[in-house]
Amino acid sequence: MDIEALLAEYDRDIRAIPFADDPDFRFEWDGRVFRFTGAHPAPAWNCVIFSDLDQDTADAAIARQIAHFRGAGHGFEWKLHSHDRPADLGARLESAGLQPNEGEGLAVLEIAAPIAERPIPQGVEIRRLDDPAAFDPLVDLSIAVFGNAEDAAALIAELKKEAARWPETLSVYAAIADGAMVSAGWIRFHAPSRFASLWGGGTLPGWRAQGIYSALVARRAAEARTRGFKWLTVDCSPESRPILERRGFRVVSEITPWIWRADHQNVMSD
């Protein structure tokens, strides 16, 4: 794996283009900064996705992004990757008043071969949810795993809208036990690029460490391979990282979400 070439391709084909033709998100370049502004003021819905800056341009670019989102009354996230330039961009964001959330790793797998699945508990079924109406239990699952009812409702509403508008770019999978959803995850297909990406993956506490998360990864990877994609990516948490690495994923860049809040309280979120 040529990591430098892979990251250049990833930046060009994933980070530096709009991820959806959605009127709720406005994508735009500001010099060498690519951002989107959402309809919701929370930082999770407004983001600097990509930047290509240097020592001379970074501070002014940061100030412009703060001014832009402050003017909209929105907070925002600057999704910094460890290979982004300049090397001290994180320190510059901190000096400007942004604060870091828990880091993630950009994990990549070449999906030429199937991923081995662990056995899952008897009675658990992995299903592909083809009807957006079947996404409703994802709200309660997300609340149980992550604890924020407002964010969960907004996320699943956007997911349902995405599936209805662009069904060819999204597949949602769930693990069902005794008629209840105990885990779920989705995959986005970024044609014409060679990348597909994994999202979600939350599992109820009582069902963890039983192979369910791995099974969801394997099923989504199999669909991506069948559809001709080469690379599978995931922004992985510290908890999922070792599971993914055991299945062949390699972390090629570290991600730090830097947060600026419109209320100027700029405290780190839970």
Q: What residue ranges define each of the domains in the chain, with the CATH number in brackets?
A: 3-103+255-260 (no CATH), 113-229 (3.40.630.30)
Residue 265's pLDDT is: 43
What is the pTM assigned to this prediction? 0.90
Residue 47's pLDDT is: 97
Residue 254's pLDDT is: 98
Contact 227, 171 (CB under 8 A): no
Residue 116's pLDDT is: 79
Local structure of residue 78 (DSSP, 8 states): E
Residue 57's pLDDT is: 97
Residue 266's pLDDT is: 44
Cα–Cα nearest to 140, from 132, 151, 152, 150: 152
Residue 71's pLDDT is: 96
Residues with pLDDT less than 50, the chain: 264-270
Contact 47, 255 (CB under 8 A): no
Contact 189, 168 (CB under 8 A): yes
Distant-in-sequence, close-in-space partners of 133: CB < 8 Å, separation ≥ 6: 160
Torsional sign, CA 119, 174, 269, 33 = positive
